[in-house]
Structure 1
């Protein structure tokens, strides 16, 4: 089951090394603030595939799904369910 703490830890490790995970707000706009760019989105998607077994060929990959920790968590939960249903 996806959770915000694991997502925050990944984002901080990959994109915000000087920010403690606890200080990353769940609704901080990662795209608008330039934390994640198009290559960064690919990293996030690959991590979600590996971490949660999400098959991205079976889900809609809209940029809004990666705008914040909360959005990523919601996407991962929905996509994990969609992948499980397809199996």
Structure 2
């Protein structure tokens, strides 16, 4: 997982929601919402972090399990909103 965008989001999730856990356990396909890592409050914190860090705004219908359930889908959504993000 060398992608810089994915790594920053992973680091945020590890520090905020999985402190002390093995970072290798969180892969780009680990289910975050359906796996119970993110509840509704944690999901909102993640959305606020991503919006601030990458100058994107998510529509309410985009803040769902389909777009936020794993690192790969989050990265895809951010890049669709801001193609200049590396």
TM-score normalized by structure 1? 0.79
Over the residues paired in the alignment, what is the CA RMSD in angstroms?
A: 2.4
| Equivalent runs, 1:8-23 vs 2, <5 Å | 8-23=10-25
Number of aligned residues: 82
Most deviating of 32-41 and 50-59: 50-59
Distance 2:23 2:82 in 1: 23
Q: 1:5 to 1:55 in 2, by over 3 A?
A: same
Q: What are structure 1's unaligned runs of at least 5 residues?
A: none
Q: CA deviation at 1:14?
A: 0.8
Q: 1:65 to 1:6 in 2, by over 3 A?
A: same
| Equivalent runs, 1:1-80 vs 2, <5 Å | 3-57=5-59, 60-80=62-82
Normalized per residue, the structure richer in helix is 1
